[in-house]
Amino acid sequence: MNDEITALGQVLGRNIANRRKELALTQANLAERLGTDVVTISRFERGSNLPSLLRCQQIAEVLAMPLAQLLSESSSQLSDQALQLEQYISSLDGKDRAFLIDMVKAWCGHLKYDQH
């Protein structure tokens, strides 16, 4: 259980830090928007402290992202993995997305066939 908590903290922290940097925010900027201190943000990003569910929702709102996205890599749920794939392909144009979907279909067929 502790290993799962540690892994969750690391994924959550990495997702917070990556999104914060994408938005060109410092830890101090994020802390100010959340009404907390920089040390708390640093601990969240390092994964040494897990924020509460309410705090996760607040972080997601400040970072303008779905709450599920903060946790997406930590889950083995098919719907979470689908969300992660959606994030990867969302920046592609229609033609490239169609190409990628065709490739994924082909690979899935190949892998499914290989299992039998």
CB 46 within 8 A of CB 13: yes
State mean pLDDT over 47-52: 93
Q: Where are the beta strands (DSSP E) in 11-72?
A: none
CB 73 within 8 A of CB 84: yes
Give the pLDDT band of residue 114 (cuts 50, 70, 90). Answer: confident
Count of beta carbons in the 10 Å neighbourhood of residue 106: 10
Q: What is the pTM of this model?
A: 0.64
Q: Please tell me the predicted confidence (pLDDT) of residue 76.
A: 65
Rounded to whole angstroms, the Cα distance separating 90 from 95 reads 12
- Which carries the bigger pLDDT value, residue 4 or residue 53? 53
Please determine, for residue 116, whether its predicted confidence score (pLDDT) is greater than 80: no
- The number of residues making up the chain comes to 116
Rounded to 10 degrees, what is the CA torsion of 83, 81, 69, 25? Answer: -100
pLDDT digits (tens, 9 = 90+) for 55-108: 999 999 999 998 888 887 655 667 767 777 887 788 889 999 999 999 999 999
Rounded to whole angstroms, the Cα distance separating 98 from 93 reads 9
